[in-house]
């Protein structure tokens, strides 16, 4: 069974709503053969990353950058996972009050350095999540899981 690791830093009610939509999409009955594992970024290490077949990353945009927690995750796993996880699929969602551009750019730069392959463009949500935002997050979860199911 393929394993999708959802690594998140959920710091607000808005991010909680988004995380729940992503998880619901990843765990949809339409996708079979994928185990979904959900972990906070600050407690996820290389062993869990190496045991996964794909990744879904979630972060707030903090002062134009990804959260320190997600950066810590990348700092922890980068060299142990550099060659072992090459070509792994990943998805990304980012929430901010006004702009998520810098956070998206930073995560995508590190993911490119790891040679991960993005399953679709990042989902950017600014302000309170709308029903359409949550639907895009659900789809991100479903598409990322489907990528692993083959």
| Total domain count, the chain | 1
* CATH of residue 124: 3.40.50.360
Burial class (CB in 10 A: 0-12, 13-18, 19+), 123: buried
**CB 93 within 8 Å of CB 58:** yes
What is the mean pLDDT, run by run of 10 residues, along the chain of 150 residues? Answer: 97 97 96 96 98 98 96 98 97 96 98 97 98 98 92
- Please give the residue range of the domain that contains residue 104: 2-149
pTM across the whole model: 0.97
């Amino acid at each position: 069974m393929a394993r999708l690791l959802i690594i998140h830093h959920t710091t607000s009610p808005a991010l909680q709503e988004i995380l729940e939509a992503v998880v619901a999409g990843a765990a949809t009955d339409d996708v079979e053969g994928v185990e979904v594992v959900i972990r906070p970024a600050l407690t996820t290490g290389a062993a869990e990353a190496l045991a996964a077949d794909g990744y879904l990353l979630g972060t707030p945009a903090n002062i134009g950058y990804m959260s320190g927690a997600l950066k810590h995750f990348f700092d922890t796993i980068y060299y142990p996972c550099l060659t072992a996880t090459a070509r792994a699929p990943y998805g990304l969602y980012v929430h901010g009050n006004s702009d998520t551009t810098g956070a998206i750019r930073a995560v995508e730069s590190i993911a490119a350095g790891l040679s991960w392959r993005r399953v679709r463009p990042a989902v950017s949500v600014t302000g309170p999540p709308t029903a359409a935002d949550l639907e895009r997050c659900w789809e991100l979860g479903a598409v990322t899981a489907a990528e692993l199911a083959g």
